[in-house]
Structure 1
Amino acid sequence: MSDLVEIREQVLKFRDDRNWQQFHNPKDLALSLSLEASELLELFQWKTSEEAVEKNLEKMKDELADVLIYAILFADETGIDLGSVIQEKLHKNALKYPVDKSYGRKDKYTSL
């Protein structure tokens, strides 16, 4: 988790060095997060998954970084501890998708 803490600190410093927190509210950060995720998705339009990755990997890295940066900023603005919520969600998913029922299957938990 120390890497996550260090990255969070770097993202917040970048923001604070530019005095951008004044523009960051939950709604606008969520909107920006969605837009960046859509830009990542757009790289797959009209291509197979393999073709998209082969042709756009560098762009994908940039878009994924934007998504993660906005997620960090959203978490900071709302007081959400990323490490804790990720661990909590993994626990919830483990209950919904037990290994013995979900291994190798793509079914939603309601169909297992």
Structure 2
Amino acid sequence: MESHETRRDLIELRDRFREFAAERDWERFHTPKNLATALSVEASELLEPFQWLVSGNEALDDAKLKAIRHEMADVLAYLVMLADKLDIDLYQAALEKIEINRAKYPAGKVRGDSRKYSEYKDSER
């Protein structure tokens, strides 16, 4: 997807969430603190369908996949609304974070290794 399309999609989502909240007079509840809290709750709920999987690789049935899809949508909704309240361009923030992580985790140094960047020593690899 082209970057302008991605930005346009995020703006359309933002506008739909604004409209949804306005129709219900909920804007006053959408403070950054409340949105961050709701985002955290929804992210936790996203874990539920995975909770008792033994290896994490089992096939998920349609009901679990539907639940996962809906929880992911909730996470995205609160993230977009929080970014809106804080005037953060999510697309640009994601690109910035990729570059930060690219510097922290150089592919030639960390390939196939999942440790945190602070656990790598300069002499390794």
Cα separation, 2, equivalents of 1:77 and 1:5 = 13
1:27 corresponds to: 33
Alignment counterpart, residue 37 of structure 1, candidates 43, 58, 61: 43
Q: What is the aligned length?
A: 111
TM-score (structure 2 length as normaliser): 0.80
Residue 83 of structure 2 contacts residue 89 of structure 2 at CA under 8 Å; is this kept in 1?
A: yes
- The aligned counterpart of 2:82 is 74
Q: How do 1:26-105 and structure 2 match up within 5 A?
A: 26-48=32-54, 49-51=56-58, 54-55=60-61, 56-105=64-113
Which deviates the most, 87-96 or 2-11?
A: 2-11
Aligned mates of 1:37, 1:12 — CA distance in 2: 21
User: Which protein is richer in helix relative to its size?
Assistant: 1
**Structure 1 segments of 4 or more deviating over 6 A?**
none
Counting aligned pairs with the same residue, the percent is 43
Equivalents in 2 of 1:25, 1:71: separation in Å?
12
Query: 1:23 is matched by which residue type in structure 2?
Result: F
Shift of 1:3: 2.2
Moved more, 89-98 or 7-16: 7-16
Q: Distance in 1 between matches of 2:119 and 2:45?
A: 32
Tell me if 1:5 matches 2:11: yes
Structure with higher Rg: it is 2
- How much has 1:62 moved relative to structure 2? 0.1
Worse-matched range after superposition: 23-32 or 2-11 = 2-11
For structure 1, the 5+ residue unaligned runs are none
Check conservation: 2:35, 2:81, Cα contact below 8 A.
yes
- Whole-Å separation in 1 of the counterparts to 2:104 and 2:87: 27
